[in-house]
């Protein structure tokens, strides 16, 4: 005898649900894997570089190669791209956030070897470089034939870090410690419509400067170079062939 839950062999369906769809007799040919991942790329500006009205393309140089202003090969700190300017085959990537971090170098350029990107942005000249970049720089998408503006760099926050300048001595030459950047957090977010990057598609992020941008390290007696690391936050969908 059947009941409201269905008897043996009696499916639980509404009388108005229509015919039950057939069950496929074959195994699926592929599976989908979803996840979240960031990808990043960095542009290097040597001390004394003229950036006014300049255009610089990021996400074009892969890990282990030389480019984007660097005189030495990019390491994992500068990028995690395995192929420059291309989304891997079989992977779709939807970007929902963009962050930009300004870094100061202990050297002026990489002509003689790798320079560190660990100089605190606290001295007046280095802070001037930071302000110069975030107030004059603009980020844009570059899809081969089409460019779409994202936002001024000042709106694409660094996403975290050490911020603020604190005086630690008030006698003789003041000693200061700290680090400034373009906002504690404040990542540029696509709230409704992420940017879709299909598999095998080519793309770049363009960093452009207005005509009023100053030279790099113009007010910096130490002659520090700067770097701008742009991070894309997104979801990926990976197709896994199983049959």
| Tens-place pLDDT, residues 99-131 | 999 999 988 888 878 889 988 888 778 888 999
Neighbours of 5 (CB within 10 A): 7
In this prediction, residue 70 has a pLDDT band, given cuts at 50, 70 and 90, of very high
Tens of pLDDT, residue by residue over 31-61, are 667 788 899 999 999 999 999 999 999 999 9
- On the question of pLDDT at 230 being above 90, the answer is yes
Determine phi and psi for 109, rounding to 5 degrees: -165, 180
Span 30-159+187-241 CATH architecture: Sandwich (2.60)
Which structure tokens are listed for 187? 């990542």
Contact between residue 81 and residue 172 where contact means Cβ atoms under 8 Å apart:
no
- pTM here is 0.81
Round to whole Å and give the CA distance between 26 and 10.
24
């Amino acid at each position: 005898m059947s009941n409201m839950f269905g008897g043996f062999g009696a499916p639980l369906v509404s009388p108005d649900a229509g015919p039950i769809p057939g069950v496929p007799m074959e195994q699926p040919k592929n599976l989908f894997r979803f996840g979240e991942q960031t990808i990043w790329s960095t542009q290097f500006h040597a001390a004394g570089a003229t950036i006014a009205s300049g255009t610089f393309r990021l996400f074009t140089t892969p890990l282990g190669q030389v480019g984007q202003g660097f005189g030495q090969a990019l390491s994992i700190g500068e990028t995690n791209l395995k192929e420059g300017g291309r989304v891997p085959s079989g992977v779709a990537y939807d970007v929902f956030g963009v962050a930009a971090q300004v870094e100061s170098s202990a050297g002026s350029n990489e002509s003689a070897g790798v320079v560190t990107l660990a100089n605190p942005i606290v001295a007046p000249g280095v802070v001037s470089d930071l302000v110069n970049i975030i107030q004059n720089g603009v980020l844009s998408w570059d899809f081969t034939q089409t460019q779409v503006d994202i936002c001024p760099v000042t709106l694409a926050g660094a996403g975290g870090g050490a911020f603020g300048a604190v005086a630690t001595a008030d006698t003789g030459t003041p000693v200061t410690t700290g680090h400034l950047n373009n906002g504690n957090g404040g990542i540029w977010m696509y709230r409704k419509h992420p940017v879709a990057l299909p598999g095998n598609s080519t793309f770049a992020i363009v960093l452009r400067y207005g005509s009023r941008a100053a030279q790099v390290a113009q007010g910096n007696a130490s002659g520090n170079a700067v770097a701008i690391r742009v991070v894309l936050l997104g979801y990926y969908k990976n197709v896994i062939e199983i049959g």
